[in-house]
Structure 1
């Protein structure tokens, strides 16, 4: 991000992204308009781009070209009645860290409900034939955690493995990031839960997982340290990889992410503080939020090309 202006000029000369019909920026996309987001998930449908993000009823931004963004109606106008059954402290329509993915001819929207500092949480699911069509179906509870669990049911991300099978990666704080197999008919968990990343209790948070498969490896991206504090946020994005979707995920130094490993991808800069809540689209685009030091620390949308080095590690 520190080289955004240089990348922007290079992009204008270089043309569009390889293999994708998208804006002609080689790395840092010059997004404008309404870019206020937290924990964005990005997707393209037809000629339109969308981000789904934390906020009232799940906030949605749309772009007709990937650069100029505007707000469109939220997904839930009122909280579904079942939310309070699993998260009694859920007294508003505030929804966290949604994940939007297309799979098997349908669009799936995972999301989480919780309250700060509690792991009495739930992951829910909505779906539609397409984003443009709307008419979202409430598919109910996916999984839950209570105060007796040592992990937290928030920050879901749908992952499709090399065989085309769906998995759900999720989690935050407590004992870290988890993974579970998903039934392709119900799109809900089947089988056990596996731990794939954690940090020592005195080392801060790990959360917001996003996983992709590329050239024989599964890449796990996560946000570490502190979010939600404006310019005082210390969020940063880390990654590791594994030949197997269930791990072990190791960083560039060979350290297991279950033991606190994770190579840093993004720590922000003087303008953009605490980048995190990242989402990988395909394998070549990364969206995330960061806090704008020039606008009272408000969280905003950042999008970049995600490049890969000769050894198969991600980079900007």
Structure 2
């Protein structure tokens, strides 16, 4: 064990990340106070910046430790899962409008295995800070409440009203309306249950994030253990407060014991491509946009060194039927997503099938893909036949870190509601 060399961290040691863009053009990543193999960890919500979403520099902490009210309530020594959002003014001015931009950071203070937790609020005029604590938004006690007040995420409904999505294990995921004027709860309530899992799997659900797309709300949420078996699941609803259903129509608030692993469409899990690094437990994602493009940021662990974790950014694409799928390769920059020459989509691919009942790492296998036409990597919805399965898929370009070049990639959903992701095999 040793003191942290934060200059060398980059995106390593980033846990429960979220990303926003400042008015200075830089991307800001906020994450949990976590690191592997060090004696002390800087507390107060870690902050990193990047000019391109690829190279990250550690910038310290947003706050000088755990704010006193949250620390007194929870006993926490660090902050978890900060959610940062550009806040509109109380009159409903749009984000980035003429009013001076305000930023809200919702942080979690808790200890492992306890429902004695608090979500607090800090504000700033710039994501670079300085941040001012505004106190507790919601607090829960282990011996009183089923819901656990951690893992906040904010979504604005179609009318512009803010909602906080929160919760972890125990009582599941809840949605509670916030005040546009204060950023705190509009009413003294715990909100509406929108997702949970049965006790047979320890109620293992957390790290929720809701995003609006084409008039519907999509819930991204992590199942199972952050240590080794996390996966990202998705449900959809016409309302922020649910009910959310997966691609097969199964409700995410009341899965049966028999469907505890199957419910929630699994869009990302542990995977390894030939010659590549094995990645396990991807989860606790946030979603952000760059113009019309959508991205996911999440943390992941290295299969050969599970204590080591890092943040990765991936593209989110949408199938013809309107379902989100995720790139199998991390984002490596906009100039790495187009092929110099279009090539046939059909051919040999390395593909992973994210069977929902499989919580371990999935090794890609070589499959034959049948499809019409050519692609230069420009994202396009297509019907693919992959290893005999017919997929509602998207084909796009991505950087293959093993081949060291841009390749065609796909993600799609088969008739059973199972997601496949693949990377076209590179031949000499």
What TM-score do you get using the length of structure 2 for normalisation?
0.63
Per-residue CA deviations over 1:47-87 (Å, capped at 9, x if unaligned) read: 21111000021011110122111100201223322123311
Which residue in the other structure is 1:124 paired with? Answer: 120
**1:193-212 map, 5 Å:** 193-204=191-202, 205-212=204-211
Shift of 1:200: 0.5
Structure with higher Rg: it is 2
Per-residue CA deviations over 1:75-108 (Å, capped at 9, x if unaligned) read: 1223322123311x32x2x111111111213111
Q: Tell me, yes or no, if the aligned pair for 1:239 and 1:251 is still in contact at 8 Å.
A: yes
SS of the aligned residue for 1:202 comes to: helix
Structure 1 unmatched runs, 5+: 1-31
**1:34-53 map, 5 Å:** 34-46=11-23, 47-53=25-31
- Partner Cα separation in structure 2 for residue 221 and residue 82 of structure 1: 30
- The RMSD of aligned alpha carbons is 1.5
SS of the aligned residue for 1:273 comes to: strand
What TM-score do you get using the length of structure 1 for normalisation?
0.84
Query: Is the counterpart of residue 281 in structure 1 residue 265 in structure 2?
Result: no
Query: Is the counterpart of residue 255 in structure 1 residue 262 in structure 2?
Result: no
Structure 2 unmatched runs, 5+: 1-8, 34-42, 89-100, 256-262, 273-277, 327-428
The higher relative CO (CA closer than 8 Å, separation ≥ 6) is in 1
Q: Tell me, yes or no, if the aligned pair for 2:18 and 2:286 is still in contact at 8 Å.
A: yes
Tell me which stretches of 4 or more aligned residues in structure 1 moved more than 2 Å: 32-36, 293-297
Q: Tell me, yes or no, if the aligned pair for 1:42 and 1:279 is still in contact at 8 Å.
A: yes
Q: Tell me, yes or no, if the aligned pair for 2:120 and 2:134 is still in contact at 8 Å.
A: yes
- Partner Cα separation in structure 2 for residue 122 and residue 315 of structure 1: 33
SS of the aligned residue for 1:85 comes to: helix
**1:67-216 map, 5 Å:** 67-87=54-74, 89-90=75-76, 92=77, 94-104=78-88, 105-132=101-128, 134-147=129-142, 148-191=144-187, 192=189, 193-204=191-202, 205-216=204-215
The one of 37, 51, 60 equivalent to 2:47 is: 60
- Partner Cα separation in structure 1 for residue 322 and residue 135 of structure 2: 38
Aligned length: 277
SS of the aligned residue for 1:168 comes to: strand
Q: Tell me, yes or no, if the aligned pair for 1:35 and 1:69 is still in contact at 8 Å.
A: no
The one of 280, 305, 308 equivalent to 2:315 is: 305
Per-residue CA deviations over 1:157-205 (Å, capped at 9, x if unaligned) read: 0111111110000000112000100000111112341000000011241
The one of 314, 325, 340 equivalent to 1:315 is: 325
SS of the aligned residue for 2:15 comes to: coil
SS of the aligned residue for 1:154 comes to: coil
